[in-house]
Amino acid sequence: MKSLLKIFWCWLMLWASGYINAQHRVQAKVVLDHQKHQLLIEQQLTYFNSSNDTLKKLILNDWNNAYSSKSSLLAKRFSDEFVRSFHFARAKELGATSVEKIASSHGQNLNWERLPEQVDLIEVDLAQPILPQQKQTIVLVYVLQIPSDRFTDFGYTEKGGYALRDWLLLPALYRDQKFARYSNADLDDAAYGLTDFDLEVHVPEHLELFTDLSQTSVEKSNAEKVYTIAGTSRVNFSFYLQPKPEFYSYKNNDIEVVTDIQDAKLNDIQKAVIIDQIADFVQDHLGRYPLSKMTLSQVDYSRNPFYGLNQLPSFISVFKDDFMFELKFLKTYLNSYLQNSLHLDPRKEHWVYDGIQSYLMMQYVAQYHPDMKMMGGLYKYRWLRGFNLVSTEFNEQYNYFYLLMARRNLDQAPGESREQLIRFNEKIATKYYAGLSLKYLDSYLEENKLSQALRDFVAANAHKNTSRTDFEQALKSQTDKSIDWFFNHCIDSRKPIDFSFENITKTQDSVTLTIRNKTGVQLPVPLFGLHQKQVIFKQWIEQFARDTTLTIARTTFDKLALNHLNEVPEFNRRNNYRTLRGGIHPNKPFRFTLLKDLENPEYNQIIYVPSIGYNLYDGITPGLRLHNKTILNRPFSYDINPMYSFKTTALKGHMSLAYNQFNRESQWYNIRYALNSSLFNYAPDASYFKINPNLTFNIRDRDFRSNHRQAFVLKYSAVEKQQTNYLVETNIQNYSVFGFKYIDAHNEVAHKFNLITDTQFSNSFGKVSGEIQYRKLFSNSHQFDIRVFAGAFTYNRNTNSNAFDFGLTRINDYLFEQELLGRSEKSGVFSQQFIMGEGGFKSKVSPETVNQWLITSNLSFNVWNWIELYGDAGLVKNRLAPAKFVYDSGIRLNLVPDYFEFYLPVYSNNGWEISQSQYPEKVRIVFTIDPKVLVNLFTRKWF
């Protein structure tokens, strides 16, 4: 019997050895030309066909070449996320791959080509087909032009170093009878097969190499260093060259960690203790790391930081230094551990990595920092504890960041392919939701079954390619309960979860309740009985379709709650509580809160906040806003803002009521019903009052990443104006206008196309107008802008007033929709404020208004960076006057497009304006003080 066991053991070891070595192999000589930022590479690639298919072609990832074209997928993603640096980069800052030779091991040149529309993928025709379980070697000679690191943090650095990722030509992952043809989308998710590396790296002697491959030797000769590095069973590896070494090494009994993640306020002993604690924690939950060395860089963390409220500037940081370092290191460590231990398809199955990482980060904080609050040390100030933002547990922020997108109808399913996720979801919300879903599953399974499943999954798949199916099997092996709901609804669906109480009846001995499943997603939900916020009982209600009714024995609890501990990542928890007390006790009492706060589902929150406004006629107008707008959006919102004008000694302000109806499965994703009203001065001696009910239908593409948006707007505006002696023209006091507007907009860095049509009717006039805006950024970084506007009156009974005329040189804002700070000014800096609209002329040519029809065009072309030339031309027709050709031209300083610009007139119908007196008053300025507009400038890349 013992002999048979020995024979079996030897056979098993031989089989395992063969299995582990049944993978690709790369041998390469790499020479750095530091002056040119180039890598000269001679490479042998041995491809092992582990599939059951015969391969006649290979697909090689050449992601460095994505930096060579401003039409690559990488460039397109920069454009639609409003990242300007790449499209305005100099040629020497871009990257490229120059392939000099691809041949068989016998020297036969092989045919190859870059895939259509995918400049970073190479298709190679093999000399001989590769049969299943066979291998073939090809030879490659190529030169990498390394890009600047200012686009993605990878490339050559200003300090003279290099941070490289996905730089070698490596075979794409082959699975399910096809190669993964993924282009570089700035997602760090290249899909490779398992590969053994053996590299000889030649670098100048002043540079030092840091990598998580094993360094077998280093030699110095002829002013250069030659590193020999190797690794087995890898899909990728880190590669850093630094002239001034910033990496340091920590070792324990299981792993060596090489890192340059810094925190100047912690000493080496403190860092070592934290790193050791994190390594032990991860090993306890996932098992031993399958490699002996891990390299973690500041670049790794910068590309995937811990997004949360600890992103506050350092001078107002509310977290201790050691906790901040723990978060940074833990997230980077987990990311590297999972990427190097689990060989999944990183684009299609990213949610497994993301979910495990987020889940373990929550577990770590719960274990080592159970009392940590979302705003850290601010909790020690008693007067701040009334804010939910301050008193909420630290781990609750994961749920809030998910809801930030879900409440906007912008959330996406974790199982969605990664390149289809919008940036905020890819970096934060979807990643957090995957972790919350695992936490939900862990609570439901109980007895640490999830932790055991994770350890088993990592141990079984550390040395082979794996898949989502393997993960499902690992989870299901730990329980007899059905958990298909986890995959079907939490991972593969974006349908929200929302439970509420429908009916509750009580007797002296029992309580009968009906729970409503508002979205029909069949998931388990925990029911709680509470007394004075203490949990009396907890009971899991198994999944049900719509409504379920149950009867429970009545004990000391006086309130029922669903999902009280927020174990279920629910869309709306405001309807989860129901009191059993008699009398007039409300289910949710009112709470007044100073400043915007997080949503608290146990209270009806009324937020009050001091406000301040300004326009030339009212002056500085302080006020007090009363609203219900927490950080999370809600369907119905109100905002009432009375203000006091010291200049006019009168009450001013504005008010808005809005209801958002979201259609989650439709392209008509949002219908907004709103009522707005405002009261301010429009001249020194006169005010206006406006009330504006409106209805907006918002449409988006099926592709959430698309910046294409459409909207239909129906609006009615009723305006009452006091008479003013400040304006020369006859002023109409009271009027109402019905309008219909259609907007079709597609805005990116590389191009912009907007179409807007507007129809307005009132008792005294009817008018139609349309405009087209087009902007194109060329590959040479020159930019061309053109806008065409046409408008005409269908009828105009205002023979003695220009109140409703089209504005040629200044938008005629009779509906009070624009942020004009001095709307009635004819001279001075406030008259120079420019908002692109209607005629769009910058010079004050005559006529300034048009009462019959006009057609104008506005053009600009940049000559250097943000300096542009502009020109306007048009034909205008007023009643009782012949049509007139008008024009102007000048220089545009396009500092921040559409937000902060200067127009310097040069020549127009008025002659050479640049030589005329009082020229500074002719300059037009684009600027805004509206906080919402400014915030959008910084957040548009995320949403």
382-407: pLDDT as tens digits: 877 778 888 889 999 999 999 999 99
Q: What is residue 935's predicted lDDT score, i.e. its pLDDT?
A: 60
- For 472, the 3-state DSSP assignment is helix
Q: Where are the beta strands (DSSP E) in 205-332?
A: 208-211, 214-221, 224-234, 239-242, 248-251, 256-259, 293-296
CA distance 156 to 773: 38
- Confidence (pLDDT) at 630: 84
Q: How far apart are CA 878 and CA 887, in angstroms?
A: 17
Structure tokens, 568: 């279920």
Residues 6 or more apart from 324 whose CB is under 8 A from it?
263, 310, 317
| CA neighbor of 752 nearest in space, from 813, 707, 799 | 707
Query: What secondary structure letter does DSSP report for 449?
Result: H
Q: What is the pLDDT of residues 536-565, one digit of tens each?
A: 999 999 998 889 999 998 888 889 999 999
Separation of alpha carbons 789 and 838, rounded Å:
6
Residue 13, pLDDT above cutoff 60 = no
From the list 835, 856, 836, 742, the residue with the least C-alpha distance to 789 is 856
- Residue 774: beta bridge partners? 753, 786
pLDDT tens across 85-98, in order?
898 888 899 999 99
The answer for residues whose C-beta is within 8 angstroms of residue 142's C-beta and 6 or more apart is 41, 43, 97, 98, 99, 100, 101, 169
Q: What is the C-alpha separation between 234 and 168, in angstroms, rounded?
A: 13
**Which value, in Å, is the radius of gyration of the alpha carbons in the chain?**
33
The phi and psi torsions of 144 (rounded to 5 degrees) equal -100, 120
Of 586, 176, 568, which is closest to residue 577 (Cα–Cα)?
Answer: 586
Report how far residue 262's alpha carbon sits from residue 246's, in angstroms, rounded to the nearest whole number.
Answer: 9
> Would the pLDDT of 492 be above 50?
yes
- Angle (nearest 5°) at CA 24 between 20 and 28: 125
C-alpha neighbours within 13 Å on the C-beta side of residue 34: 20
Rounded distance between C-alpha atoms, residue 849 and residue 808, angstroms: 5
Mean pLDDT across 611-630: 92
Token pair recorded at residue 266: 């912690």
Q: pLDDT for 928-939, tens place per residue?
A: 766 666 566 556
CB crowding 739-750: b at 16 or more within 10 Å, else e:
bebebeebbbbb
Q: Give the total residue count for the chain.
A: 943
Written as one letter, the residue type at 499 is: F
Which among 141, 161, 219 is positioned nearest to 37, based on CA atoms?
161
Cβ atoms of 441 and 486 within 8 Å: the answer is yes
Name, in order, each residue with C-beta under 8 angstroms of 246's C-beta and a sequence gap of 6 or more: 260, 262
Does 722 score more than 50 pLDDT? Answer: yes
C-alpha angle 141-147-151 in degrees, rounded to nearest 5: 145
Q: What is the pLDDT of residue 376?
A: 84
CA distances 252 to 249, 259, 275, 296, 595, Å, are 10, 14, 10, 16, 48
How sure is the predictor about 4, in pLDDT bands with cuts at 50, 70 and 90?
Answer: very low
Q: Give the C-alpha separation, 763 to 737, whole Å.
A: 8
Residues 724 and 686 sit within 8 Å (Cβ to Cβ): yes
CA 731-737-741 angle, 5° bins: 130
For residues 831 and 433, what is the distance between their CA atoms, to the nearest angstrom?
50
At residue 860 the predicted structure's pLDDT band, cuts being 50, 70 and 90, is: very high
Summarize the confidence of residues 37-42 as an average pLDDT: 97
Least confident among 10-19, 48-57, 279-288, 932-941: 10-19
Q: Determine how many CB atoms are found less than 10 A away from the CB of residue 447.
A: 10
Strands of 19-108, DSSP E: 24-33, 38-48, 55-61, 96-104
Average pLDDT (103-108) is 93
Query: What pTM was estimated for this model as a whole?
Result: 0.89
Closest alpha carbon to 600 in 392, 842, 336: 392
Inform me whether the pLDDT recorded for 14 exceeds 60: no
- The pLDDT, as a whole number, for residue 506 is 87
What pLDDT does 425 receive? 94
Angle between helices 350-368 and 430-445 (to 10 degrees): 70
Reported as a single tens digit per residue, the pLDDT across 739-797 is 999 999 998 888 899 999 999 999 999 999 999 999 988 877 788 899 999 999 999 99
Give per-residue pLDDT as tens, 671-713: 999 999 999 999 998 999 999 999 999 999 989 999 899 999 9
